[in-house]
Chains A and B, each alone.
Chain A
Amino acid sequence: MRVYLRYAVKETLTNLWRNRMMTIAAVLTVAVSLSLVGAALLLKQSAAQASAQWQQGTRVTIWMQPTATQSELANVQNQLSTLPIVKNCTFFTQAQDYQEALKILPPSESSVLHVSDMPSSFRCVPTVPSNAFVVESTFATQPGVYRVTAPEQQIRQMNRAIRILQVVFLALAAVLLLSATVLILNTIRMAIFARRREVSVMKLVGATNWFIRVPYMTEGFLQGLIGSLIAVGAVTALHTWYPLHNEFQLNTNALLGTNAVVLVAGVVIGSVGSAIAIRRFLDV
C-alpha cells in the first residue's frame, strides 16, 4: 500500500508537470468559471437578503397637498384607520416633514424650502408588502392627496436587475465549466497518450485496472481542486471588499456555503473530466 501510494503520487505529479501548460489552462478555466458561479450565488443571496430587509419596513407614504384642508386630512385618516390591510399609520405634520427634508436634502436645495411648501404625510405600514399597491390605488385620486409612493416598485426593479445579472453570470459559468471539463479531459488524454507504452506493459504484466487508473483520476481531481481553491479565494475577496457586503450584511455563513458549493463543483468537474478520459482512452 505504501509502495503504491508513493507510486501514485509520483505518477500524478509527473503527469501534471509534463502537461503543465494544459494543466494551467485547465486550472485557470476552472477558477474563472467557479468564481463566476460563486459571485452569482453571493449576488442571489444578497438580493434575497436585501428584499427581505426592505420589505420588512415597507411603507406607503401618502403625501397630502400642502394646501389640503383639515376635512380632507380627516377623511384620509378615517379611511386608513378602517382599512384592514393597513397595520398602522403615523401622521407627519408639515413641520415634521420639513425637518426630515432638511436632513435628507443638501443645504443648497433645502434652503429654498419653506414649511408651508411641505406636504404633510401619512406613513403607513401595510400588513403584507404587496398591499402597498392597493393603498396606492385607493388614495392616489382622493381629494387633497398629492401622490402616493411605495418602495415596492424599486425593490422589484432591483430584483429584476439582479436576476438578469445572475442569469448572465450562470450562463457564462455554464459555458466555462463545460470548457473546463473538456480541458481537463484533454489534459488527461494527453497524459494517457504520453504513457501508452507504459500502460500497455502494465496491462501485460498484470497491473490491476485501478492501479493504472488512479494516477490519472487524481490528476483530474487535483486540477479541479486547485482551480476551485483559487475560485474560493476570489469569492472570499469579493465578499470582503465588494460594497454589497456592507449594505446587505451578508453573514459569513452565506460565504461558507458558497465556498463549499464552489469547492464541490471544482472537484466534481475534475473527477468527471478525468473519468470520461479514462473511459474513452485508457481502455482498462
Chain B
Amino acid sequence: MIRFENVSKTYKNGTPALRDVSVNIDKGEFVFLVGASGSGKTTFLRLLLREELPDKGRILEAGRDIGTLSSWRVPYLRRNIGCVFQDFRLLPNKSVFDNVAFALEVIGRPRSTVESQVPQILDLVGLADKARNLPGELSGGEQQRVAVARAFVNRPLILLADEPTGNLDPTNSEVIMALLERINRTGTTVVMATHDKALVDRMRRRVIELDHGEVVRDQARGVYGIDEPVIR
C-alpha cells in the first residue's frame, strides 16, 4: 500500500528531515511512527500527502509513484487518504454534521450521499446526538472524534494520524484508539505518529522509530521504548 524507496528529504534551510528511508507498509496494517520531535515523523506524513516532494528516492502509494503525479491529480490522491491532527482542525462556525458533510461536499458528492453517509459515520463515532452542535460546544475528545469521522467518511484507503491523542486525556485517548482500530479492521491502512508511550506499549502493533531522519527500528509487534532488542 505504502512504499518508501531510499527517500531523502532536506529542507531549504539545510536540515535533513529524512535520510535514505526505505519502508514497506502493506494494506490493512496499523503502524506507529515514533521518535523525538524533529526526528522526521511529520515529514514522513507530509510526503505521503504530497505536501512535499522527496529530494531523492520514490514513494509509491497503491502501486503509483506519487512523485510523477501531475499537480492537478494530487487532490484525487488525497481523496484516498484521511487525515487526523493533534489540533482537530475543525471549522468552528460549522456544526458537527456540516463539518463532516463538508469533506463530502467539496469533492462533489451529491446531496443524497451526504445525507446518508454523514449520520452513519456520526453514529460510528458515537456523536449522532451532537450533530447540530458547534465544535466549540464539544469536549476535546468529542472534537477529535468528529475529526476522525471527517477523515473516514469518504472511506479512504489510508488514514494518517499526526499525534491524534496529543491533546487528550488517557480516557479520551482510549476512545480514539478504539475508533482507529475499528477503522483499521475495515481494511484501512493506518499510520499514526505519536509520543504516547503507554498507548504504543499496550497496542503491540508495528512500530517504526525515526531518529534524525533515519529509520532506527522497524519492529513487528513493538513497544515505544528501546529497552527491548532492536533491529539496527
Query: Which candidate, A110-118, A197-205, A219-227, A261-269, is the interface stretch facing chain B?
Result: A197-205
Q: Is A207's CB under 8 angstroms from B106's CB?
A: yes
A206 in contact (CB, < 8 A): yes
Q: Is A208's CB under 8 angstroms from B105's CB?
A: no
CB-based A-B contact count at 8 angstroms: 55
Q: Is A205's CB under 8 angstroms from B106's CB?
A: yes
B89 in contact (CB, < 8 A): yes
Q: Is B106's CB under 8 angstroms from A211's CB?
A: yes
A-chain residues with CB within 8 Å of residue B76 when the two chains form the complex: 206, 208
Residue ID in chain B nearest A4 by CB atoms: B108
Q: How far is the CA of A245 from the CA of B129 in the complex (A)?
A: 70
- A199 shortest CB reach to chain B, Å: 10
Q: Is B72's CB under 8 angstroms from A3's CB?
A: no
A-chain residues with CB within 8 Å of residue B102 when the two chains form the complex: 198, 201-202, 205
Contact check: which of B71, B72, B92, B103 meets A205 at CB < 8 Å?
B103
B83 in contact (CB, < 8 A): yes
Grouping DSSP codes into helix (H, G, I), strand (E, B) and loop, the A interface class, with mixed when no group exceeds half, is: helix
Q: How far is the CA of A209 from the CA of B81 in the complex (A)?
A: 17
A193 in contact (CB, < 8 A): no
A17 in contact (CB, < 8 A): no
A281 in contact (CB, < 8 A): no
Q: How far is the CA of A208 from the CA of B72 in the complex (A)?
A: 7
B-chain residues with CB within 8 Å of residue A197 when the two chains form the complex: 89, 91-92
Q: Is A201's CB under 8 angstroms from B91's CB?
A: yes
Q: Is A206's CB under 8 angstroms from B89's CB?
A: no
Q: How far is the CA of A211 from the CA of B74 in the complex (A)?
A: 13
A-chain residues with CB within 8 Å of residue B138 when the two chains form the complex: none
- Once A7-B105, A197-B91, A201-B102 are accepted as A-B contacts, the answer to whether A206 and B78 lie under 8 Å apart by CB is yes
User: Interface range on chain B: under 10, 10 to 19, 20 to 34, or 35 or more?
Assistant: 20 to 34
Contact check: which of B79, B92, B108 meets A3 at CB < 8 Å?
B108
Q: How far is the CA of A205 from the CA of B80 in the complex (A)?
A: 9
- A172 shortest CB reach to chain B, Å: 42
- Once A205-B103, A206-B76, A208-B72 are accepted as A-B contacts, the answer to whether A3 and B111 lie under 8 Å apart by CB is yes
Q: Measuring CB to CB, which residues of chain B are less than 8 angstroms from any residue of chain A?
A: 49, 71-72, 75-81, 83, 89, 91-92, 102-103, 105-111, 150, 154
The 30 sampled A-B contact pairs (Cβ below 8 Å) are A3-B105, A3-B108, A3-B109, A3-B110, A4-B108, A197-B89, A197-B92, A198-B91, A200-B89, A201-B91, A201-B103, A202-B102, A204-B83, A204-B89, A205-B78, A205-B79, A205-B83, A205-B103, A205-B154, A206-B76, A206-B77, A206-B80, A206-B81, A207-B75, A207-B107, A208-B72, A208-B76, A209-B75, A211-B106, A211-B108
List 7 tightest A-B contacts by C-beta distance, closest first. Answer: A206-B79, A206-B78, A207-B106, A205-B103, A206-B75, A208-B75, A202-B106
